Amino acid sequence: MERHIRESLMQAEAQCSPDPLPASIITGGLSVTTKQPIQSSAQERTDQCTIKWWWCNEFGEWTLWDTVQAVSCKFKMAVSMRRNMRPLLGFIHKKTFNTRSFCNQKVSGVKRLHDGRVFSGIQPTGIPHLGNYLGALESWVTMQNDYSSVLYSIVDLHSITQPQNPELLQSNIMDMAASLLACGIDPTRSILFQQSVVSEHAELSWILGCLTSMPRLRHLPQWKMKSKQKNEGSVGLYTYPVLQAADILLYKSTYVPVGEDQIQHLELAQDLARIFNNKYGELFPEPCALLSSTRKVKSLRDPSFKMSKSDPQKLATIFLTDTPDDIVFKIRRAVTDFTSKVTFDPVGRPGVANLVSIHAAVSGQTVEDVVTLAKGLDTCQYKAVVADAVVQRLEPIRQEIQRLKADRSHLESVLATGAEKARSLAAPMMQEVRKRVGFS
Q: Is the pLDDT of residue 130 over 70?
A: yes
Q: Is the pLDDT of residue 99 over 50?
A: no
pLDDT score for 10: 53
Mean per-residue pLDDT, 351-367:
96
Closest-CA residue to 322 (of 387, 239, 404, 415): 387
Q: What are 379-424's pLDDT values in tens digits? A: 999 999 999 999 999 999 999 999 999 999 999 999 999 999 999 9
Q: What are 414-434's pLDDT values in tens digits? A: 999 999 999 999 999 999 999
Q: Is the pLDDT of residue 39 over 60?
A: no
The catalytic residues are 226, 306, 309
pLDDT score for 31: 33
3-state secondary structure of 192: strand
Question: Over the chain, what is the mean pLDDT?
Answer: 79
**Does the CA dihedral 264-266-269-273 come out positive or negative?**
negative
pLDDT score for 400: 98
Single-letter amino acid code for the residue at 201: H
pLDDT score for 221: 76
CA distance 223 to 200: 24
**How sure is the predictor about 92, in pLDDT bands with cuts at 50, 70 and 90?**
very low
pLDDT score for 272: 98
CA distance 188 to 44: 37
Q: What is the DSSP letter of 93?
A: B
Q: What are 195-211's pLDDT values in tens digits? A: 999 999 999 999 999 99
DSSP string, 354-388: HHHHHHHHHHT--HHHHHHHTTT-BHHHHHHHHHH
DSSP string, 404-431: HHT-HHHHHHHHHHHHHHHHHHHHHHHH
CA–chain centroid gap for 105, Å, is 29
Mean per-residue pLDDT, 17-22:
39
Q: Which residues pair with 54 in a beta bridge?
A: 63
Contact between 290 and 256 (Cβ < 8 Å) = yes
pTM: 0.75
Phi, psi for 299 (deg, rounded to 5):
-60, 140
3-state secondary structure of 289: strand
Q: Which of 37-46, 54-63, 430-439 has the highest mean pLDDT?
A: 430-439
Q: Mutual orientation of helices 324-332 and 379-405 as an angle, nearest 10°? A: 150
pLDDT score for 49: 35
Q: Is the pLDDT of residue 82 over 60?
A: no
319 torsion bin: left (phi>0), alpha (psi -120 to 50), beta (else): beta
Q: Is the pLDDT of residue 52 over 60?
A: no
Parallel, antiparallel or unpaired: strands 53-56 and 61-64: antiparallel
Q: What are 138-185's pLDDT values in tens digits? A: 999 999 999 999 999 999 999 999 899 999 999 999 999 999 999 999
Residue that wins the pLDDT comparison between 419 and 264? 419
Name which of 17-21, 238-242, 370-374 the model is least confident about: 17-21
Q: Is the pLDDT of residue 57 over 90?
A: no
Q: Domains in the chain, start-ordered, CATH in brackets?
A: 1-35+45-111 (no CATH), 114-294+421-434 (3.40.50.620), 315-405 (1.10.240.10)
**How sure is the predictor about 218, in pLDDT bands with cuts at 50, 70 and 90?**
confident
Q: Is the pLDDT of residue 365 over 80?
A: yes
Q: Is the pLDDT of residue 291 over 90?
A: no
The total of other beta-carbon atoms located within 10 Å of residue 27's CB is 11
The total of other beta-carbon atoms located within 10 Å of residue 198's CB is 26
